[in-house]
Amino acid sequence: MKKHLLKLMVLIAILMLIVPVAAVAAPPAQDGGQDYVVVADDWLSKLADKFLGDIFAYPAITYYTNQKNADDSSYAKIKNSDEIEVGWKIYIPSSEEAQAYFDGQTSTAGATGGDTIKIGALAPLSAPGSVTGGEAMKIAMEIAVEEVNAAGGVLGKPVEMILVDTEGLPERGTAAMERLIDQEKVVGVVGEYHSAVGLTAKEVAHANGMPTVFAETWNDKITSVQYPEVFRIAPMSSEVAAIHSNFIASLGVKRIVIMTENTGYGIPAAEQTTAALADLGVEAVTFNADIGTEDFSGIIERIKAENPEMILVTLTGETSFNFEQQAAEAGIGPQDVPMICNQVAADNEAFWANVPDGNLCVFTRIGLPLSLYTPETTAFVDKYIARSGRSVAESYAMEAYDSFKLMAQAINEAGSTDSTAIINALENISYAGALGNIYFKYGTHNPIPEGVDAKWWHQFPDPAVTLVQYQKVGQASADAPVVYPDTYKTADLIRP
């Protein structure tokens, strides 16, 4: 009896030691995924934490649920990871499935393993982000990696690019930047297409002292906050808004509609353009839609009621294609009403496939006009066209390429992976790239003087911005003539 009692006491003691450990352990790995029905107060990061032990694993739930939806409509289609509804049937992947997703969405280029210099990269490679733009940026940065390594690498070591998909979502930008810094141990970060992502990612960069060169994020606040770590080579929304406004006013237009997106790029861009137009005597009415919107029928009817003389589209990516074609089918497309389409129209294959009625569309092109191509521009464009199979190198491809090579040059000039040394090298850099000669006029090396807007901090001041127009159905964007400004003009605008 005493022996049994002793064994029981030992067992109880063992359990007392085990239970507290189990109480704080991460959720066990699942053997397989499972269906789940959304209830009140659920959100994806909460479910990711509950089932996968990681709040940042929620994109895997979005991905696998949408994969299920493609074959079985009983599963929800998640267009925005921030918005799920009670009663939706979703799929919670297993830990192994989630890891497989992230392995697939985090790609590497250049040397792998061994002693390398890691540079992080951000781009939208899946919806609701601009997949067209993200894929272009990915190809461009892979070319940059190859060139850097062919020239001897960085600090005498091979450079390795760690590319993470941001999906065009702000919260994903935060998670991606944290992953690059905390897990991948990169020494610098480049790229990104969406301003909404850049706005959150820059906060992580600043908090961690991470040198960052944004490629295609236009929101003025990217640089106006004057973070030491943050640089940009794309134009600013306010500057592009001024060009759009001057072009619109030059046509004698007095009333336009702006079709924009509810993002950190779309709303400020619409507001800045509206203000600039007002100064020129032009009235603007703005309509908003969420990124990823597919059906614009209701909004288009409201736009038609405004009788606009012109339409400016500041929706991005594939969402802009949806609006532009539906507008054309409703009789207010670019062949009916003068329209400035989103710059993703520069991908003429994707544009004509999605907007077959898009002739006479005007769109913004960033980068040197063909007549002003430098040897560096020509060399990159030739490689990009050969690699991508596209007929032209889009502006965001050039920006992505230059952002990576700019960072690599800065690290070499710094002679160190120390972040302070890299930032100092970026402030004083002169880099000849696809966009021309890139430099940063203002920073700690040259403080912004009184009377100069804070947005020029760590901002490339000279990106060329032109408006071009498709004037033939199926035309290659490389052949589309420049219609504004007069400095670069190669043909007159054709009005509907």
Question: In this structure, is residue 494 part of a structural domain?
Answer: no
pLDDT of residue 391: 85
Q: Which of 241, 208, 486, 201 is nearest to 369 (CA)?
A: 486
Tell which of 102, 133, 160 closes a domain.
102
CATH number at residue 306: 3.40.50.2300
pLDDT at 1 over 80: no
198 and 261 part of one domain: no
114 and 138 part of one domain: yes
224 and 260 part of one domain: no
pLDDT at 190 over 50: yes
Tell which of 67, 82, 102 closes a domain.
102
CB atoms within 10 A of CB 394: 28
The dihedral sign for the CA sequence 22, 25, 30, 36: positive
pLDDT of residue 454: 97
Which residues, other chains included, contact 421 with Cβ-Cβ below 8 Å and sequence gap of 6+? 414, 415
pLDDT tens-digit series, residues 6-38: 333 433 343 333 333 333 333 433 458 999 999
pLDDT of residue 114: 58
Q: What is the DSSP string of 119-153?
A: EEEEE--STTS-HHHHHHHHHHHHHHHHHHHHTT-
pLDDT at 476 over 70: yes
Question: In this structure, is residue 2 part of a structural domain?
Answer: no
pLDDT of residue 62: 84
Instruction: Read off φ and ψ for residue 103, nearest 5 degrees.
Output: -65, -35
Question: What mean pLDDT comes out for the span 372-380?
Answer: 95
pLDDT at 2 over 50: no
The Cβ-side half-sphere exposure at 256, using a 13 Å CA radius, reads: 30
CATH number at residue 65: 3.10.350.10
- Binning pLDDT at 50, 70 and 90, where does residue 107 land? low
Which residues, other chains included, contact 222 with Cβ-Cβ below 8 Å and sequence gap of 6+? 195, 198, 199, 202, 214, 230, 232
Question: In this structure, is residue 12 part of a structural domain?
Answer: no
Domains contained in the chain, number: 3
Question: In this structure, is residue 355 part of a structural domain?
Answer: yes
470 and 343 part of one domain: yes
348 and 316 part of one domain: yes
Inter-CA distances, 25 with 19, 29, 53, 124, 206, Å: 10, 11, 9, 34, 32
Question: In this structure, is residue 343 part of a structural domain?
Answer: yes
179 and 130 part of one domain: yes
43-49: long-range pairs with CB below 8 Å, 24+:
43/82, 43/84, 44/78, 44/81, 44/82, 44/84, 45/171, 47/92
131 and 228 part of one domain: yes
330 and 401 part of one domain: no
Q: Which of 162, 202, 204 is nearest to 186 (CA)?
A: 162
pLDDT tens-digit series, residues 131-149: 989 999 999 999 999 999 9
303 and 243 part of one domain: yes
pLDDT of residue 324: 98
More confident residue, 98 or 353: 353
Distance CA 168, CA 170 (A): 7
pLDDT of residue 104: 61
353 and 470 part of one domain: yes
pLDDT at 98 over 80: yes
Question: In this structure, is residue 496 part of a structural domain?
Answer: no
pLDDT of residue 392: 86
474 and 346 part of one domain: yes
Give the mean pLDDT of the chain. 90
- Binning pLDDT at 50, 70 and 90, where does residue 113 land? low
Distance CA 100, CA 181 (A): 21
Question: In this structure, is residue 491 part of a structural domain?
Answer: no
pLDDT of residue 63: 81
Q: What is the pTM of this model?
A: 0.76
Tell which of 75, 102, 129 closes a domain.
102
pLDDT of residue 438: 98
More confident residue, 391 or 180: 180
pLDDT of residue 291: 86
Question: What mean pLDDT comes out for the span 225-254?
Answer: 96
**Residue 480 belongs to domain spanning:** 238-368+466-484
Question: In this structure, is residue 57 part of a structural domain?
Answer: yes
pLDDT at 92 over 90: yes
More confident residue, 360 or 487: 360
Q: How far apart are the first and last CA of the chain?
A: 100
Work out the percent of the chain whose per-residue pLDDT is above 90: 75
pLDDT of residue 18: 38
175 and 68 part of one domain: no
pLDDT tens-digit series, residues 38-79: 998 898 878 988 999 887 678 789 888 988 887 888 999 886
Report the amino acid identity of residue 227.
Answer: Y
pLDDT at 482 over 90: yes
- Binning pLDDT at 50, 70 and 90, where does residue 317 land? confident
pLDDT of residue 82: 65
pLDDT of residue 15: 39
Tokens 């710059």 sit on residue: 343
pLDDT of residue 201: 97
